């Protein structure tokens, strides 16, 4: 367990883990730490995607850009759905998730303009 912010600040892999606080109980010379899961943290999912895993095995005449773009759209929608499992039911928890997908392109024929991405 490491100390840090109770909200995602850098959108790195460590931020996508469950967040906890520790309550320190002190009684004279005795102490005890109690770990408590935070229930109001915005759901955050991070995933790395390598386009080579998507396009390997496709026919040489396949439109790799289109295949990659459709795969990413489908995957992001699934990650948004998956984020519902991270909801605690607490009334103060934001329900809109943070989704970060890092895409690693092997060649330009697999890439597309992120401006078109919707």
Between the alpha carbon of residue 59 and those of residues 9, 31, 45, 62, 112, the distances in Å are 42, 65, 32, 5, 19
Q: Give the domain ranges of the chain.
A: 13-110
Per-residue model confidence as pLDDT tens digits over 20-76 = 888 999 999 999 999 999 999 999 999 999 999 999 998 988 898 899 999 999 999
For residue 2, pLDDT over 60 is answered with no
**91 pLDDT more than 60:** yes
Reported confidence tier of residue 3, pLDDT bands at 50, 70, 90 = low
Query: Which tokens hold the place of 20?
Result: 């906890």
What backbone torsions phi and psi does residue 71 show, to the nearest 5 degrees? Answer: -60, -45
> What pairing do the DSSP bridges indicate for beta strands 44-50 and 98-104?
parallel
d(CA 33, CA 14) in angstroms, rounded, equals 22
Whole-prediction pTM value?
A: 0.78
DSSP structural state of residue 42: P
Place of tokens 């026919």: 59
Please check whether residue 76 is in contact with residue 83, taking contact to mean a CB–CB distance below 8 angstroms.
no
The predicted model gives 100-109 an average pLDDT of 86
């Amino acid at each position: 367990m490491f100390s840090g912010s109770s909200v995602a600040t850098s959108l790195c892999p460590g931020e996508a883990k469950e967040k906890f606080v520790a309550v320190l109980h002190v009684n004279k010379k005795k102490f005890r730490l109690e770990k408590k899961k935070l229930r109001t943290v915005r759901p955050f999912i991070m995933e790395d995607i390598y386009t080579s895993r998507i396009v390997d095995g496709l026919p040489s005449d396949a439109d790799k850009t289109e295949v990659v773009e459709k795969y990413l759209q489908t995957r992001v929608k699934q990650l948004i759905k998956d984020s519902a499992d991270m909801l605690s039911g607490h009334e103060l928890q934001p329900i809109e998730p943070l989704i970060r997908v890092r895409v690693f392109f092997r060649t330009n024929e697999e890439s597309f303009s992120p401006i078109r991405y919707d």
